[in-house]
Chain A
Amino acid sequence: MGKKIAMETNQLAAFAMAQIDPDVVAAYPITPSTEVVQEFSKYVANGEVTTEFVPVESEHSAISACLGAATAGARVMTATASQGLALMNEILHIASSARAPISVVVASRALSGPINIHGDHMDISSIRDAGWIIMVAEDAQEAYDNIIQSIPIAERAKFPIITSYDGFITSHAVEVAEVLEKEEVQKFIGPKKPDYSVFDEKLTIGVLALQDSYIEFKRKQAADYDKVIDIVKEVGKEYGDLTGRYYDTVEKYMTDDAEVIMVAMGSTAGTAKVVVDQMRAEGHKVGLLKIRLFRPVPKDDIIGVLRTADAVMIMDRAYTYGGVGGPLFEEISAAMNDLPCRPYMANYIYGLGGRDIKPSHIRQVFEDGLKAVKGCGFDQQIKWITVRE
């Protein structure tokens, strides 16, 4: 049983980073992730970490410095959100193709405009094709656990990783979390063993590959990226053996016999669990599938849970303009196409820009699902909720 502490999630993220003690942190502050590097810089100033801290003038420079340090063989971390992550976009693609195992903490926030600093999943959704591993935490405990696990996941998979939690809703909430000792963290993550280094004079890094070889590089990258799913499971199990908190790519909550299953990501999953408990007590067979690994999509795990449901309610705190619903709905619908017989599926776009999602909203979604099962599906497949109609 580890030590329990009460901290804001951002501070807890900085605490986790200090326990990891990365070689290099290059960062530029942006709300709601500012506190992560602000607090981390105190650990640097107090000499509690050995990290080379590089304050830069933009997020583009932050991730560029991180990539440079990673190609030199360093263990590298940073934190950002929203427009800051968007500004990193160009380098994100290079980092993933360079297999640089950088770990980035993201306090997920809306993308402007209008200007909004609050929590939704538009930032992480907008970079889902950048080839990074993306994990989303429900609460402070999971945020801490994911950050610790991000190091072995990224370094074994040889891909960069984002561990996110909801801006403000989670980032600025004080919660009790059970933490490891620094020595335990160091033992769990082990020393960094670089796969290659810019100091190896036999290597050229960042090659040009044109029509004759680019597609082979990408085919290899895609195949290796698919292996991330098993590595996330493997590290989640090892972490469970150490802490008692086991993790998988998804979390099932009363789904085994559920007729109606909600799919949600981030803090909403916590609210949904409360509603599932209430509705179960009333005799309704409802359940929740929480997505922990957003990228790569743990397709088989998702299908395995949803295939026996009668109705599936997919909750997206993000939107793809002109797409077929939100990002989770698009991916899960595509994954479910493999099944000969599919449940009714509906998509709910909610909570953009930090708009509250309350138990009453979630109950309404479950009731829509129960109604669809009794009748014949949904009147409307894609619905916006928590919005003034």
Chain B
Amino acid sequence: MAKDLMPKSWKEFPDGIHVEVKDQPQGFDYITAGWRTFRPEVNLDKCVHCMICWLVCPDNAVVVEDGKMTGFFYDHCKGCGVCANECPVKAIEMVPEVK
């Protein structure tokens, strides 16, 4: 859990497994992307902001600001490539994770 969201006592934890989304889409600052072999990269010149990538992303890893797609949360993206496959204008490319 994000350090600034972490309650001081268990008594203040939520009644359930739901938390409020702040900066991070999962409400936590865990890095859950360590096993990615390809990462999506977006060409914003081609992007038409249709939000299909945001809709299909299984990990809430698409960053949207003011109704515009602006990039990816790479700490959460697992590199599954669904966004690149579904993008109607081929604005997303899967790039190998090499140095």
Contacts and interface: CB of A to CB of B under 8 A. Distances in A.
Contacts, number: 72
A97 B10 contact: no
B1 A209 contact: yes
Interface stretch (B27-35, B41-49, B85-93): B27-35
B19 interface: yes
B18 A208 contact: no
A216 B13 CA distance: 7
Interface string A212-248: 1101110110011000000000000000000000000
A207 B15 contact: no
B67 interface: no
B26 A212 contact: no
B16 A196 contact: yes
Given A209-B1, A213-B1, A204 B13 contact: no
Contact of A97 (B1, B17, B30): B17
Contacts of B1: 209, 212-213
Contact of B16 (A97, A202, A212, A213): A97
Nearest to B18: A205
B7 interface: yes
A162 to B, nearest CB: 19
A341 B28 CA distance: 50
A219 B26 contact: no
B5 to A, nearest CB: 9
Contacts of A75: none
Contacts of A273: none
A127 to B, nearest CB: 19
Given A207-B27, A216-B7, A202 B21 contact: yes
B75 interface: no
A382 interface: no
Contacts of B21: 201-204
Contacts of A195: 15-16
Given A203-B21, A205-B17, A207-B18, A220 B10 contact: yes
B20 interface: yes
A210 interface: yes
Contacts of A213: 1, 6, 13
Contacts of A217: 10, 13-14, 17
A224 B13 CA distance: 11
A224 B15 contact: yes
Interface residues of B, number: 22
A279 interface: no
Nearest to A209: B1
Most buried by B among A97, A99, A158, A215: A99
B30 to A, nearest CB: 6
B71 interface: no
A216 B16 CA distance: 11
A375 interface: no
A206 interface: yes
A98 interface: yes
Given A204-B21, A219-B10, A209 B16 contact: no
Contact of A208 (B11, B14, B20, B26): B26
A210 B30 contact: yes
Contacts of B16: 97-99, 158, 195-196, 205
A156 B21 CA distance: 26
B19 A207 contact: yes
A208 B32 CA distance: 10
Given A209-B28, A216-B10, 5 more contacts: A195-B16, A203-B21, A207-B18, A212-B1, A212-B6
Interface of A: 94, 97-99, 158, 195-196, 201-210, 212-213, 215-217, 219-220, 223-224
17 contacts: A94-B17, A97-B16, A97-B17, A98-B16, A98-B17, A158-B16, A195-B15, A202-B20, A203-B20, A206-B18, A207-B17, A207-B26, A208-B32, A209-B28, A212-B6, A216-B10, A216-B13
Interface of B: 1, 6-7, 9-11, 13-21, 25-28, 30, 32, 60
Shortest beta-carbon contacts, A-B, top 6: A216-B10, A219-B10, A99-B16, A205-B18, A220-B13, A213-B1
